[in-house]
Amino acid sequence: MTKSVKVTVTERGGRQFASTGSAWEPVIGYSRAVRVGSTIHVTGTVGVEADGQYANSLKGQAKRALEIIVAAIEALGGTVSDVVRTRIYVTDISKWEEVGQAHGEVFSHIRPATTMVQVARLIDDQALVEIEADAILSSEELSS
């Protein structure tokens, strides 16, 4: 699922930081994901493709955002099964089923706590959805 996402990991002060090279990361001063101990926090992620373009559909953008999220979690030593919470922000809640289907394709067997809300707009006018995630690594992953 994550082969098309490039993630760079650095470490400072006992924390690991994942960067996906987003143009916004250095400007705003954030990381795609941060691991502290057994917890990984993934920042709000829009479904922008590597070439800077967006899928035309909410579902397509949600699938790409989830692909980026999973890549960041894996780069920091976690797995998709470690996800315990997601937050989904959409610009048109009437299309909730599209993003719900994409979320379900990734998380149907994990069933994290989740929230979906409508927002007026996102960082880019083409972005239709932004997703956050939190993961707690299992004891097996901590020992490796």
CATH code of residue 126: 3.30.1330.40
Q: Which of 52, 1, 56, 2 is nearest to 22 (CA)?
A: 52
* Number of domains, the chain: 1
When pLDDT is cut at 50, 70 and 90, the band that residue 50 belongs to is confident
- Let me know if residue 3 belongs to a domain: no
What mean pLDDT is reported for the chain?
Answer: 93
- Let me know if residue 1 belongs to a domain: no
Structural domain that includes position 93: 8-139
pLDDT for res 125: 94
- Let me know if residue 144 belongs to a domain: no
Spell out the alpha helix ranges (H) of 2-131: 24-28, 58-75, 96-107
pTM of the full structure? 0.92
- Residue 20, sorted as left (phi over 0), alpha (psi -120 to 50) or beta, turns out to be alpha
- Let me know if residue 123 belongs to a domain: yes
Average pLDDT (76-98) is 97
AA letter at 83: V
- Residue 8: both structure tokens together: 């760079």
- Let me know if residue 66 belongs to a domain: yes
The number of C-alpha atoms within 13 Å of 116 and in the hemisphere containing its C-beta is 18
- Residue 58: both structure tokens together: 């909410």
- Let me know if residue 129 belongs to a domain: yes
